[in-house]
Chains A and B, each alone.
Chain A
């Protein structure tokens, strides 16, 4: 690790603090205060009682089930970029030699530090850093995790175009990986059916991911005053970018309900599994779900349906 950092409350800080997250910054501060005053156990209990969904988001084991797609070894060193509140970091730390848990927000890194102390997870280290300027030497890690990160990389002043920022990130990720090391990206599908039916995109607006970029940019500027920077791609779009960055053995999985909670994981090529999942396992009796369960039995529908899936877990290996 480079040594040009400030040490704040024992957390190396390499970059300017930038808060983002599922809860407001003020709520995060309140939570940290509660942990410091009443202990982590009490805070954990209060999260559970207030919002079980949020509790599962932080502590749920299933959140990192994507890891079973990889041949993870005990001696691995892992870098979790955009680690958030540590769901993936802590799950991986139980299985590998070392985890570096990096986030752009000091408050979130602090939460990870307090959780590390509570769970006595000695092989996990947190830091505040920039995904576009990784403070590590070359060929250090066996796995780089980018869960829910890729779409936000374009929101930076360092690059004018989001694809350039994303390509630079892939280059950085490749640099810090050992030969044969793996990159994992958990990400939304640009052409997900959800967005076509009015789901809100990362821009905060509807339909922008489906629009041509020029229109999306114009529309977003009109509505928000800002450019459209949260680029997502199709399955083939991601694979092309990752391949061009020097990765091979690229594998894409469909994950449900989403990459953040990969309860169900089906390989892209496994049409029978996709059909079985949709018709037999998934619940829901509303009109939309019943229609989907009916039409997916027909030829070609299953092939097309993959392209409208909500999100992907994508793996690439450094050549």
Chain B
């Protein structure tokens, strides 16, 4: 397979010598390679291959989304890697894009870089805002996506607890703007290359979610101190002129979704302890 990929890549550069470094990043049936041309110290291309043919469609869909993200206005497109091509080897789809070489954040990285990401997210949300606001049905629909992870009696408990949670936090004044998200923003997908901020992994781009979801996701995974997280979210929501009460309720909702996202990545096996740990909302648990 590796040899076959190298042969195909020769059309992308002048060098006959191509080496691959294989990295598996994330799940979802993707296998990542970095392609090095002519003995270069840094990779030129990033390849995403379907680990099995069943994942071909998701690879192709991600490539399309990357193309759409590259066209983002206002200079945001420059922060997106350039899509190159989709190829097929032995029935497996492989997307080829520009490799981003740069520094990534570490845990607890300085505030200056967090500010840069914050500015980027604000700009990103501005160009991706939709005309709609979230309503109660939207909230139910979003939570419904996670229902499949629960089975049997657990599903009834999940639905019951979800109902209680929504009843507690929801009010007619809670409507929140909806935006088209990046969907997987964390420090592993952000680079600083030549002093420019670059964002990779656009597989979930375009998913409609509550404003603030991307930012909350990033801050959560950055292990940001709770107070700092609240500051950034407060600044973000100030743009929407939210009342303190609405803001507090939206923090809870964002935390809920963040927790569900984490758990749904863990192969869908939930436990009471894990729910409490991620949500921090005791009354949501089966205990209620």
Interface positions of A (Cβ within 8 A of B): 44-45, 48-49, 52, 55, 61-62, 65, 67-73, 94-95, 262-267, 269-270, 272-273, 275-277, 280-281, 285
20 residue pairs from A and B, CB less than 8 Å apart: A48-B266, A48-B269, A55-B267, A61-B27, A62-B24, A65-B22, A65-B31, A68-B2, A68-B31, A69-B1, A72-B90, A265-B21, A270-B19, A270-B21, A272-B41, A276-B21, A276-B34, A276-B36, A276-B41, A276-B42
User: Do B21 and A273 touch across chains, with their CB atoms under 8 A apart?
Assistant: yes
Residue-wise interface mask of B (177-204) relative to A, using a CB-CB cutoff of 8 A (1 in contact, 0 not): 0000000000000000000000000000
Chain B binding surface, main DSSP class = loop
User: Do A272 and B19 touch across chains, with their CB atoms under 8 A apart?
Assistant: yes
Q: Across the interface, name the chain A residue whose C-beta is closest to B106.
A: A285
User: Do A68 and B21 touch across chains, with their CB atoms under 8 A apart?
Assistant: no
A266 and B40 CA atoms in complex are apart in Å by 15
A52 and B1 CA atoms in complex are apart in Å by 30
User: Do B31 and A270 touch across chains, with their CB atoms under 8 A apart?
Assistant: no
Given A61-B27, A61-B51, do A272 and B2 touch, yes or no (CB 8 Å)?
no
User: Do B267 and A69 touch across chains, with their CB atoms under 8 A apart?
Assistant: no
A55 and B36 CA atoms in complex are apart in Å by 34
Given A48-B269, A65-B22, A273-B36, do A72 and B1 touch, yes or no (CB 8 Å)?
yes
Known: A262-B22, A265-B22, A270-B20. 6 other contacts (CB 8 A): A52-B266, A55-B267, A65-B31, A70-B1, A266-B22, A276-B42
Ranked 4 nearest A-B pairs via Cβ: A273-B21, A265-B22, A48-B269, A270-B19
- Chain B contact patch, size range: 20 to 34
User: Do A68 and B23 touch across chains, with their CB atoms under 8 A apart?
Assistant: no
User: Do B41 and A65 touch across chains, with their CB atoms under 8 A apart?
Assistant: no
Given A68-B22, A71-B1, A263-B23, do A273 and B267 touch, yes or no (CB 8 Å)?
no
User: Do A71 and B3 touch across chains, with their CB atoms under 8 A apart?
Assistant: yes
A65 and B21 CA atoms in complex are apart in Å by 12
B18 → chain A closest CB, angstroms: 10
Query: Which residues of chain B in 1-49 are interfacial with respect to chain A, using CB atoms and an 8 Å cutoff?
Result: 1-4, 19-24, 27, 29, 31, 34, 36, 39-43, 49
Q: Across the interface, name the chain A residue whose C-beta is closest to B5.
A: A68
